[in-house]
Amino acid sequence: LSKAVILVGGPSRATRFRPLSMDVPQPLFPVGGKPIIWHQINALSKVEGLKEIVLIGFFEDQVFRGFLEKCSDEFPGIQFKYLREFTQLGTAGGIFHFRDFILRGNPKHIFVLYTDICSSFPLAALLRHHEKQGRLGTIMVTKVDRSMASNYGCVVVDSETSLALHYVEKPETYVSDLASTGIFVLDREIFQFMDRIVQHQTMDPEHDQETDLLEGIDRDFSKLRLEQDVLRTMADQKKLSVFVTTDFWRQIKSAASAVPANAAYLQQEARSGSSRLAQAISGGPEIVGSVFIHPTAQVHPEAKIGPNVSIQAQVKIGPGVRIRDAIILDKVVVKENAAIINAIIGWESRIGRWSRVEGSPFSTTYDGHEITHDGVKVNNICILGQDVSVKDEVYIRNSIVLPHKDLNTSQHNEIIM
Ligand code: GTP
């Protein structure tokens, strides 16, 4: 028997997801036609013996209510629960605080998944590996570009025994190109282990503060961090196994990174032959590659859509429209001959005739913050917030537009407030 925890964070953490998180909490933002955390839940639902999924975060209670009701219908074998932290407790603090609830029903293993990631979630393989190694916990890692390793939590592993030798958060000098994916499985005994860490932190804070100071670690005792506090100690005590995935994985930290995540999930669906993807049919719009079109959206037969496009509910797309590598959110209207490329169009926005909303392709090596090449930004997805209006024949390129703006003139490389 196992259980799962998804760490959903809270409203204050989603600032990097602006302007889109102003209207929907990041965990519910749609990629691949489904809310981000639906993909975690869908993968967990396929783990044998997993009967309960707990979301832990510091959003208001009602934020996930409707979504979890829908999940209960879609995944009838699974119980769902949202547990709210009264204050931000850190990535292990909430798990520790709600341990009695998590341990109810005596689960042997607890999966812990972050929200801000996109993956095929090979959880059955992770669990098999974990059981075979027989250590307290297992961290899933993925190989990243060596030059990007300093952006991640990195794990040094003994490849013969799968034993984690060190965990280093965002190392300044190179230690390993195996990055933590935000996917873990832990034995139930982890709570005794966390308890000892908490005791140690609170009983002996001065000693810790001193060594922290020496090591330049800035520690906040009101928080317990899963990776820096718990997993790092597990690695030091030879209690942590490592599982390397070669499947797709990336972070969804910024709003722009929702575009490649959307593409990754749509392509996964295409490989699995999913019937949810749009099919090219005679008399219908031209469909290129992997495309999701919500059943309530209206797409004109003379439009050309794809690859890597999600079109959400009640969107209206006119004739001659071209869209690729984009997410079009609910109730957007796109007028004839407009083009939308490498972009996210916010809810209820209107794109005029012959206008163009275009970003540059997202960097494939790193999702995170801006990357420049010869002073030019290369991962500039164009993002329009909710209820933005682009007038006819206007060209919006590589820009981020906050909600409720009317754009009458063309804009390049701007943040429009
Ligand atoms: P940086 O983003 O690089 O600063 O790392 P971090 O260690 O602060 O955490 P990260 O942003 O990697 O968050 C990992 C996941 O945990 C995300 O899904 C967050 O939403 C979630 N999360 C982070 N902090 C908390 C917390 O205090 N409580 C809860 N419940 N979730 C959290």
pLDDT tens digits, residue range 308-339?
Answer: 999 999 999 999 999 999 999 999 999 999 99
The tens digit of pLDDT for each residue in 112-162 reads 999 999 999 999 999 999 999 999 999 999 999 999 999 999 999 999 999
Report how far residue 368's alpha carbon sits from residue 152's, in angstroms, rounded to the nearest whole number: 10
pLDDT above 80 for 372: no
**47 phi and psi, to 5 degrees?**
-80, 125
Report how far residue 232's alpha carbon sits from residue 225's, in angstroms, rounded to the nearest whole number: 10
How large is the ipTM? 0.95
pTM summary value: 0.92
User: Tokens for 306?
Assistant: 């794809």
Taking the centre of ligand 1 as the mean of its atom positions, its distance from the CA of residue 116, in whole angstroms, is 8
User: Which pLDDT score is estimated for 213?
Assistant: 57
Atom 20 of ligand 1 has which residue's CA nearest to it? 9
Report how far residue 350's alpha carbon sits from residue 316's, in angstroms, rounded to the nearest whole number: 10
Task: Tell whether ligand 1 has an atom less than 6 A from the beta carbon of residue 7.
Answer: yes
pLDDT above 80 for 32: yes
Report the nearest atom of ligand 1 relative to the CA of 114: 18
Taking the centre of ligand 1 as the mean of its atom positions, its distance from the CA of residue 9, in whole angstroms, is 6
Task: Tell whether ligand 1 has an atom less than 6 A from the beta carbon of residue 367.
Answer: no
User: Which pLDDT score is estimated for 210?
Assistant: 58
User: Which pLDDT score is estimated for 414?
Assistant: 85
Task: Tell whether ligand 1 has an atom less than 6 A from the beta carbon of residue 9.
Answer: yes
Confidence category of residue 413, pLDDT binned at 50, 70, 90:
confident
Taking the centre of ligand 1 as the mean of its atom positions, its distance from the CA of residue 115, in whole angstroms, is 8
Average pLDDT estimate for 264-283 = 92
Task: Tell whether ligand 1 has an atom less than 6 A from the beta carbon of residue 27.
Answer: no
User: Which pLDDT score is estimated for 202?
Assistant: 73
Atom 22 of ligand 1 has which residue's CA nearest to it? 9
Task: Tell whether ligand 1 has an atom less than 6 A from the beta carbon of residue 56.
Answer: yes
Three-class SS of the chain: CEEEEEEEECHHHHHHHCCHHHCCCHHHCEECCEEHHHHHHHHHCCCCCEEEEEEEECCCHHHHHHHHHHHHHHCCCCEEEEEECCCCCCCCHHHHHCHHHHHCCCCCEEEEEECCEEECCCHHHHHHHHHHHCCCEEEEEEECCHHHHHHCEEEEEECCCCEEEEEEECCCCCCCCEEEEEEEEEECCHHHHHHHHHHHHHHCHHHHHHHHHHHCCCCCCCCCCHHHHHHHHHHHCCCEEEEEECCCEEECCCCCCHHHHHHHHHHHHHHCCCCCCCCCCCCCCEECCCEEECCCCEECCCCEECCCEEECCCCEECCCCEEEEEEECCCCEECCCCEEEEEEECCCCEECCCCEEECCCCCCCCCCCCCEECCEECCCCEEECCCCEECCCCEEECCEECCCCEECCCEECCEEC
pLDDT above 70 for 211: no
Task: Tell whether ligand 1 has an atom less than 6 A from the beta carbon of residue 17.
Answer: no
User: Which pLDDT score is estimated for 280?
Assistant: 84
* Opening angle at CA 311, ends 310 and 316, nearest 5: 160
User: Which pLDDT score is estimated for 378?
Assistant: 45
Task: Tell whether ligand 1 has an atom less than 6 A from the beta carbon of residue 13.
Answer: yes
The tens digit of pLDDT for each residue in 161-200 reads 999 999 999 999 999 999 999 999 999 999 999 999 998 8
Report the nearest atom of ligand 1 relative to the CA of 115: 18
Atom 32 of ligand 1 has which residue's CA nearest to it? 9
Report how far residue 30's alpha carbon sits from residue 98's, in angstroms, rounded to the nearest whole number: 28
User: Which pLDDT score is estimated for 376?
Assistant: 47
Report how far residue 23's alpha carbon sits from residue 19's, in angstroms, rounded to the nearest whole number: 8
Confidence category of residue 12, pLDDT binned at 50, 70, 90:
confident
Provide the residue count of the chain.
417
Q: Answer for the pair 111, 4: CB distance below 8 angstroms, yes or no.
A: yes
**Probe residue for ligand 1, chosen from 12, 17, 59, 91 as the CB with the greatest number of ligand atoms within 8 Å:** 91
Q: Is the dihedral of CA 121, 122, 124, 125 positive or negative?
A: negative
Taking the centre of ligand 1 as the mean of its atom positions, its distance from the CA of residue 89, in whole angstroms, is 10
Report the nearest atom of ligand 1 relative to the CA of 10: 20
User: Of 348, 304, 345, whose CA–CA distance to 324 is shortest?
Assistant: 304
pLDDT above 50 for 355: yes
Atom 4 of ligand 1 has which residue's CA nearest to it? 13
Task: Tell whether ligand 1 has an atom less than 6 A from the beta carbon of residue 264.
Answer: no
Task: Tell whether ligand 1 has an atom less than 6 A from the beta carbon of residue 308.
Answer: no
Task: Tell whether ligand 1 has an atom less than 6 A from the beta carbon of residue 85.
Answer: yes
pLDDT above 80 for 346: yes
**Probe residue for ligand 1, chosen from 8, 13, 60, 252 as the CB with the greatest number of ligand atoms within 8 Å:** 13
Taking the centre of ligand 1 as the mean of its atom positions, its distance from the CA of residue 90, in whole angstroms, is 7
Task: Tell whether ligand 1 has an atom less than 6 A from the beta carbon of residue 32.
Answer: no
Taking the centre of ligand 1 as the mean of its atom positions, its distance from the CA of residue 157, in whole angstroms, is 24
**Probe residue for ligand 1, chosen from 5, 6, 7 as the CB with the greatest number of ligand atoms within 8 Å:** 7
Q: Lowest mean pLDDT: which of 46-50, 96-100, 173-177, 279-283?
A: 279-283
User: Of 285, 273, 294, whose CA–CA distance to 323 is shortest?
Assistant: 285
pLDDT above 80 for 224: yes
